[in-house]
Structure 1
Amino acid sequence: MNTAQERRRAWDGYWASGALHSCAGSFDGNYGGAIASFWRETFMHLQPGERVLDLACGNGPLGRLLLECRDDASIGCDAVDLATPSPRWLSEMPAAQAARLRFHGGVAAESLPFDDGRFALVTSQYGLEYTDLARSVAELQRVLRRPGRIALLVHHAGSRPVALAHDEITHLDWLGAEDGLLDSVARIVPLVDRAQTPQGRAALAQDASAERQRQHFNSLQQALSRRAEASICPDVLYEVRDAAARLFALAGGSGSSAALEGLGRLRRHLMDSRIRLEDLCRCALDADGVAALSQRLAPAARTAELHESGHLMGWTLVATLPG
């Protein structure tokens, strides 16, 4: 079981990479198509002077869509996340537009720093389901004015993102297994370093253990190619294959120590990826789960499955809390 500190570190590092949203492996840039249409329709009902609260905002894909589709300077958004957002795109916006969106890092949805009835609309995209729903929904309802609207997109247990996550987890486990590819890279790095001198190459030519390590690495590379061909989400396999080539080049140019330090960073990066993917799979909701969330939000909340390019992408939940 990963600790809360490990999970927060994993998400902090992810957002610091500049990813706009939590499905960066599925979509380049911001969401489009049916997902963007759902949010544009939601935002079109905002009235002048109203403010939006975006929960578990990541690097602000919803805030960005809001600024793009509603140019009314009186409509603003507060975006909160337990991790630390790093929205690089915000610096590219005109100052007057950027000022409409306020990011609040290190803020839990279960304990919001806002007054009662502050917001006309509360949103969350692939975020609220990661929280303690008993507490976060109560906070959501507290800061929402009456009448007020709620619009959510949450992970579906049978969705494409969940299937991709499960597939990638199997690859991460294979890569990190004992005597697996990462271990093999660690053993090859010193051999590459030794091969930088004529004496080293001559010694390696007589080293049966080194030859076994080379053959083992080559067999793992072939296995990687087979896995990738059969996978619905092979990206991490190709990324590690390319990273191994860079580490060998580093070993040849700067020595074993530098390359092994780089391998350590790669292992930590992959471990953090696994933590995030486990979070996604654990928090995705089946039909009973989304029904329970809907009932908790508001008795009249409406739920629907959302599809994008032929793939099931999640549940939408829309509710109005009456005055």
Structure 2
Amino acid sequence: MSENKDWSQYWSQGHKTSFGSSFKGCYEGVLKQSWLKVFSTFNDGDKVLDLCTGNGSLPRLAYESMSNFSEINFSGVDYATVDSDDTFLKLSNVDFKFDCNIEELPFDSLQFDYVISNYGIEYSNLEKSLTEVSRVLKPLGKATFVCHVNSSRIFLENANELTLLTYLLKSDGLINCLDSLVTALDEKAVTQDTAAINEISMSAEQYRNELNKQLSDALDEFGIDFHQSDFVSFLKFLLNKNTENKKDKLALYKQEAVSHQVRLKALCKAALNYEALPKTIDLFNSVGLEIHNHEMISDESGIVAIQIWALKIV
């Protein structure tokens, strides 16, 4: 759970889920339906804890879909620092705690009837976080987790994106080559000396040729994935003659690319290994959480997650 700064930056942009602009509001489709089934098991007066809540996608989904939402107490915790100036967080039955490590939950034992997490708990040290889940759950309390799994299309898509992004961010890669070109163009724009202008123009032409070569290499290596990447769209925008402050815009793009790379690495590392699932089940059992069901969540495009249900053994 070492990506606090990068996730804090991400959530501060207003995203409601960990998939950026993929969803306009909270989760949709099969993910939404899987959670609505979970919500239907909540009873009036229950205390529910949402781990790695981010901007509160699950409590917000409950708010939108449950007629008895106000009768249930929702707590949310997240390792990131999230702006809490939000009317939703001022509801009397909602309590979020940020900058909070789920491996050391700030709650007394036996507090909650239900613990939930959507693409969250797997980012932690499971031995520590599951021990904490067991500690704060009441006897016969329930836990439901939706987790990344290494056989899902989401994992595979993000792993491919990580490979491309790592390629772009190489020290001698496309982004730094573009930086050199933009720097040369900026210098040429403000230089008055003719000899210096000619020298800078030669450098800029060299950088432009190198950029074109690397673009061709990237297209050969990644094909349509590169052609449809946001880098190509950004490149067209940046080199447009009407785009001002190119250097600053490129710096912001690179900053977000580096942060996104950190998040992608964390996702790929966190995804549960389906082949090693028996070991994960043993880990649940070792802390008093008995898994009574697990299944893949799939849509028309393939697997999107694994869902795990567990019961706190008395």
Q: Is TM > 0.5 for Structure 1 vs Structure 2?
A: yes
Counterpart residue type for residue 118 of structure 2: Q
* Partner residue in 2 for 1:74: 71
* Partner residue in 2 for 1:56: 52
For 1:1-323, what aligned pairs fall within 5 Å after superposition?
Answer: 4=2, 7-24=3-20, 26-72=22-68, 73-86=70-83, 90-91=86-87, 93=88, 98-196=91-189, 204=197, 207-223=201-217, 229-231=223-225, 234-238=228-232, 240-241=234-235, 244-245=238-239, 249-251=243-245, 259-297=246-284, 298-323=289-314
Alignment TM-score, normalising by the size of structure 2: 0.86
- 1:81/1:109 contact within 8 Å kept: yes
Q: Cα RMSD (Å) of the superposition?
A: 3.0
Alignment TM-score, normalising by the size of structure 1: 0.83
Distance 1:22 1:30 in 2: 10
Distance 2:264 2:13 in 1: 16
Identity %: 25
Counterpart residue type for residue 263 of structure 2: R
- With over 3 angstroms needed to count, the CA separation of the structure-2 counterparts of 1:198 and 1:274, relative to structure 1, is closer
Q: Secondary structure at the match of 2:296?
A: strand
Q: Secondary structure at the match of 2:20?
A: coil
- 1:76/1:100 contact within 8 Å kept: yes
Q: Which 10-residue stretch deviates more, 292-301 or 98-107?
A: 292-301
Per-residue Cα deviation, 1:131-185 (whole angstroms, up to 9, x for no partner)? 1111111110111112211111011011112112111112212212233221222
Quote how far apart the aligned CAs of 1:268 are: 2.5
Counterpart residue type for residue 7 of structure 2: W
- With over 3 angstroms needed to count, the CA separation of the structure-2 counterparts of 1:194 and 1:155, relative to structure 1, is same
How many pairs does the alignment contain?
A: 308
Per-residue Cα deviation, 1:208-239 (whole angstroms, up to 9, x for no partner)? 33322222223444555666752299444245
Specify every segment of 5 or more residues in structure 2 that has no aligned partner in the other structure, as ranges.
none
- With over 3 angstroms needed to count, the CA separation of the structure-2 counterparts of 1:230 and 1:201, relative to structure 1, is farther
Specify every segment of 5 or more residues in structure 1 that has no aligned partner in the other structure, as ranges.
252-258
Per-residue Cα deviation, 1:267-287 (whole angstroms, up to 9, x for no partner)? 232111111111111111122
- 1:53/1:119 contact within 8 Å kept: yes
- 1:169/1:277 contact within 8 Å kept: yes
Counterpart residue type for residue 302 of structure 2: H
- With over 3 angstroms needed to count, the CA separation of the structure-2 counterparts of 1:69 and 1:144, relative to structure 1, is same
Distance 1:305 1:225 in 2: 34
- With over 3 angstroms needed to count, the CA separation of the structure-2 counterparts of 1:246 and 1:59, relative to structure 1, is farther
